Amino acid sequence: MADAIDLNEYGAKLREDPHSVYAELRALGPVHRVRLPPPENYDSWLVVGYEEARAALADPRLAKDVSSLDTPPFAGRPAFDKNLLAVDPPQHTRLRALVTRAFTARRVKALEPRIQRITDDLLDAMLPHGHADLVEAFAYPLPITVICELLGVPEIDRAAFREMSNEMVAPTSEEAQQRAVDRLLVYLAELIEDKRRAGPADDLLSALIRTTAEDGDRLSAEELRDMAFLLLIAGHETTVNLIVNGVHTLLTHPEQLAELRADPDLIDDAIEEMLRYEGPVETATFRYAAQPLEIAGIVIERGEPVLIGLSAANRDAGRYAAPDRFDIHRDARGHLAFGHGIHYCLGAPLARLETRTALRTLLRRAPALALDGPPGEWFPGMLIRGRRSLPVRW
- What one-letter code names the amino acid at 242? L
Q: Buried b / exposed e across 154-180, counting CB within 10 Å, b at 16+?
A: eeeebeebbebbbbbbbbeeeeebeeb
Q: Which residue spans within the chain are E strands per DSSP?
A: 5-6, 31-35, 43-47, 62-63, 131-133, 287-289, 293-295, 298-300, 305-308, 370-371, 391-393
Domains of the chain as residue ranges with CATH: 5-393 (1.10.630.10)
Residue 86 contacts residue 229 (beta carbons within 8 Å) = no
Cα of first residue to Cα of last residue in the chain, in angstroms, is 55
Residue 76: predicted pLDDT: 46
Count of other CB atoms within 10 angstroms of residue 354: 28
In angstroms, the Cα distances linking 105 to 38, 102, 272, 279 are 39, 9, 19, 23
Residue 42: predicted pLDDT: 87
Mean pLDDT by 10 residues, the chain (394 residues): 86 96 98 89 94 98 84 53 87 91 89 97 98 97 91 82 79 84 88 87 88 83 88 86 98 98 97 98 95 96 95 98 98 97 94 97 97 95 93 98
User: Is residue 7 exposed (0-12), middle (13-18) or buried (19+ Cβ within 10 Å)?
Assistant: buried
DSSP string, 23-43: HHHHHH-SEEEEEPPTTT-SE
User: Is residue 51 exposed (0-12), middle (13-18) or buried (19+ Cβ within 10 Å)?
Assistant: middle
DSSP string, 92-138: HHHHHHHHHHHS-HHHHHHTHHHHHHHHHHHHHHHGGGSEEEHIIII
- Tell me 17's DSSP state: -
Residue 83 contacts residue 230 (beta carbons within 8 Å) = yes
Residue 157: predicted pLDDT: 80
Residue 247 contacts residue 134 (beta carbons within 8 Å) = yes
- Tell me 7's DSSP state: G
- The dihedral region occupied by 130, where left means phi > 0, alpha psi between -120 and 50, and beta the remainder, is left
